[in-house]
Amino acid sequence: MSVPESEVAVPSRMSFDECARYREAACLAERLYPDAIGEALAKMLRDVAEFGYRLGMGSMADRVAAALDNEQLKRKQQDAAKWAAGRWAART
C-alpha cells in the first residue's frame, strides 16, 4: 500500500544557526562527558548537523542538545556562585 504524494511529509532544511547549535552541542558533549557516552552523543549531534534536515520537533537530537545547553548553564551558575562565595570570604 503506497501513500499518496500529497500526504508525504517533505523534510525542511535547517538554517545555518540550527546546524551550528548542533555542532556546539557536540563540542559540549565531549567536554562535559569525556568518555564513550560523550563521544556517542557528539557523533549523533554532528551527524544531525551534517545531514542538515529537521528531524521534527522533540526529536532525540533536539532534546539532547537542549539538555546539554541546560547542563552547561547549570555548571556556569555553580561556578559563578563558588567564585562569588570565595570573593566574599576573601573580603572578610
What pLDDT was estimated at residue 58?
Answer: 72
Tens digit of each residue's pLDDT (9 = 90 or more) over 11-57? 788 899 999 999 999 999 999 998 999 999 999 999 999 998 877 66
Displacement of CA 53 from its chain's centroid (Å): 16
**6 belongs to a structural domain:** no
**Greater model confidence, 32 or 7:** 32
Confidence band, pLDDT 50/70/90 cuts, at residue 84: confident
pLDDT at 10 over 60: yes
pLDDT given for residue 7 in this prediction: 62
**What span, in angstroms and rounded, lies between the C-alpha atoms of 45 and 70?**
16
Q: Would residue 39 count as lying in a domain?
A: yes
Mean local confidence (pLDDT), 6-15: 73
User: Is the pTM value of this prediction over 0.75?
Assistant: no
b or e along 26-38 (b: 16 or more beta carbons within 10 Å of the residue's beta carbon)?
Answer: bebbeeebeeeeb
Domain that holds residue 21: 12-91
Q: Look at residue 62 and tell me if it is in a domain.
A: yes
Phi, psi of 54 (to 5 degrees): -65, 135
| Structural domain count, the chain | 1
